[in-house]
Amino acid sequence: MAAAESTLSLYDGNDTKGGAQYLGALLGAELSDGEVTNIFGNALNIYYLASLPENAYLGGLTSDLQNGGKLAPAVVPVPPSAFLLASGLIGLLAMKRRR
């Protein structure tokens, strides 16, 4: 018995070009020569968390989707609170050096 092939077609509800979908784990993407063969992006981009073990098969790479769009690892920004903490630590170190 042969397995049924599946495809996924994505559309933006506002019909906006360049929209995006952010996912944690993405299971079942079929890759061939830098292209995802079973997801039709229709100009939408999919971002996934490359750090999750479930996404290891994607290799942290960016691939093209059928009919436009990209499948790419998400870039997680550093929160502003990290900069505040770092500046406080630098200030403490500077005060310690003066003593």
pLDDT digits (tens, 9 = 90+) for 2-43: 455 677 777 767 666 667 888 888 888 999 998 999 988 888
Q: And the tokens for 49?
A: 């968390």
Average pLDDT, rounded, for the chain: 82
d(CA 42, CA 66): 7
pLDDT at 1: 42
